[in-house]
Chains A and B, each alone.
Chain A
């Protein structure tokens, strides 16, 4: 019976040892996966997680602080990584910390590295989304490097031609070798300085004038500042106004007069109207003129008859001979 008891104790120890080792293994693994103890969740969004898996470590300053719990595809460009972080890191990780994906060693597992930002910020809380840094993509890097190389080669080629052209340029070398050039440049600088000084004095003068004008000096100043002048000007303008008012009335009266004359001409019984408008008058005048014509014709005949009359013949002959004499004198003088 004693032997049986001893055997049972040995069996108990054996079984317990096995179970304790199993529990120890499971506990150690669980502790590494943050299954025990309190922890909190942080999220971060990446464009490309580069093979990150649930269970990968999360590091802060190179120390394991948690694990990746789950990776969700949000849409075609965004992948959300949900991380379980141990409570120990709760007092360290801040809201503006930056998460990036890196590789543990050269060929090791992927890890999420959380680095602190320089700026101050509140402590991260459960469920916060951290900022992400685009992971280093070697493909991308090599592509950029290749492009940069091409650019550098192109620039070097251009530099080479530029330098050789500079070397061959006699004009440039003349400029560089010209010993008088520095002196000339110095002189130019001196002149520029003088010009600047003059410009400065001009500006000062202008300033003085302007301030003078402001204070009421000179005629411009008087115009701008004298209140009496303004009154006089006002008066003059008023007078001009009254004069123009008078001119207005005058022109009105003139207009009335003209209208009266016009109506007289058109409808009145005056001479002008008779002259301009009465057609009967024209006929009468015509007749009168005809009569006058006839009268003058008759008179002409009478005059011709008088010439041949013996009483006046002698007078007409005397006039004729006088005319003849004057004609002879003109021809002899020539």
Chain B
């Protein structure tokens, strides 16, 4: 009985999120646009996340290189280390790790911010004062998240590749020129473009889940904490689901 009710609750939430997404799209297309607020959110969501994302990217590049080295040495293909690490980073690790960090930082902050605004009835006050709270709060945040994550992923890839270069040079001796050539000789458009496109969906998922959870927050301060928490959890799961979908679609389209 309990399972059925929880299943009902899950399906109910899925339906609510879909409706919320539809509402976002309808508001997104319609004027008037909150341009200044959009840029402010871009600054907060994108620029302010860069140090965190850059650090994790750098560490991922360095660690992945160092972890792979023994196996590569065993197979006698140590010279292919930059190639294999760069492909792994650009295709999968860069987008997914960055999106997860992004979900942890931005999803929770949006969820908490909107949740607290909801429980303190600021959103209702906005409606009364004639501002469209959905446009001002939700559309700007979701769109900013959608646009900023791809930029963050690109920068994270660059930093991670630099980490990889340092990792290669801890035990080996590879000039930057050779590293550069090896990386770009082994990359192809079908490595970069699907990974780039899927980050838009990751960013959109993080923004929409965070906003949904915060916008529909209930039960006072306790509810705010729950909103922030579940925003991170759900958006992380959705990132993995979207990644699975993306790899299947690219595989079907022959990008491999």
Sort A-B residue pairs by CB-CB distance and give the 8 closest, nearest first: A18-B151, A28-B184, A18-B154, A11-B43, A14-B47, A21-B154, A21-B158, A7-B43
Q: Please, which residues of chain A bring their CB within 8 A of the CB of B255? A: none
Shortest A59–chain B CB gap in Å is 13
Q: Please, which residues of chain A bring their CB within 8 A of the CB of B153? A: 18
Shortest A51–chain B CB gap in Å is 15
Sample of 18 A–B contacts (CB below 8 Å): A7-B43, A10-B43, A11-B42, A11-B43, A11-B46, A15-B151, A18-B151, A18-B152, A18-B154, A18-B155, A21-B158, A22-B150, A22-B192, A25-B154, A26-B189, A26-B192, A28-B184, A33-B189
Question: Are A10 and B47 interface neighbours, CB within 8 A?
Answer: yes
Q: Does B187 sit at the interface, judged by CB under 8 A? A: yes
Bound CA–CA A18/B153 (angstroms): 8
Within 8 A of A (CB), among B138-165: 148, 150-155, 157-158
Q: Mark B193-217, 1 if CB is under 8 A from A, else 0.
A: 0001000000000000000000000
Q: Does B39 sit at the interface, judged by CB under 8 A? A: yes
Q: Please, which residues of chain B bring their CB within 8 A of the CB of A7? A: 40, 43, 47
Q: Across the A-B interface, how many residue pairs have beta carbons closer than 8 Å?
A: 62
Across the interface, name the chain A residue whose C-beta is closest to B152.
A18
Give the interface residue-count category, chain A: 20 to 34
Q: Please, which residues of chain A bring their CB within 8 A of the CB of B185? A: 32
Bound CA–CA A28/B90 (angstroms): 14
SS class of chain A's interface: helix, strand, loop or mixed? helix
Bound CA–CA A267/B148 (angstroms): 153
Within 8 A of A (CB), among B42-73: 42-43, 46-47, 50
Shortest B230–chain A CB gap in Å is 29
Q: Does B188 sit at the interface, judged by CB under 8 A? A: yes
Q: Please, which residues of chain B bring their CB within 8 A of the CB of A11? A: 39, 42-43, 46-47
Please pick, from A4, A19, A30, A55, the residue contacting B151 in the complex, using a CB distance under 8 A.
A19
Within 8 A of B (CB), among A225-253: none
Q: Does A8 sit at the interface, judged by CB under 8 A? A: yes
Question: Are B47 and A29 interface neighbours, CB within 8 A?
Answer: no
Q: Does A17 sit at the interface, judged by CB under 8 A? A: yes
Across the interface, name the chain A residue whose C-beta is closest to B188.
A29
Using known A-B contacts A8-B43, A11-B42, A11-B46, determine if residue A21 contacts B188 with beta carbons closer than 8 Å: no
Bound CA–CA A22/B189 (angstroms): 11
Question: Are B154 and A19 interface neighbours, CB within 8 A?
Answer: yes
Across the interface, name the chain B residue whose C-beta is closest to A6.
B43
Bound CA–CA A10/B48 (angstroms): 10
Question: Are B155 and A17 interface neighbours, CB within 8 A?
Answer: yes
Shortest B215–chain A CB gap in Å is 25
Q: Please, which residues of chain A bring their CB within 8 A of the CB of B189? A: 26, 29-30, 33
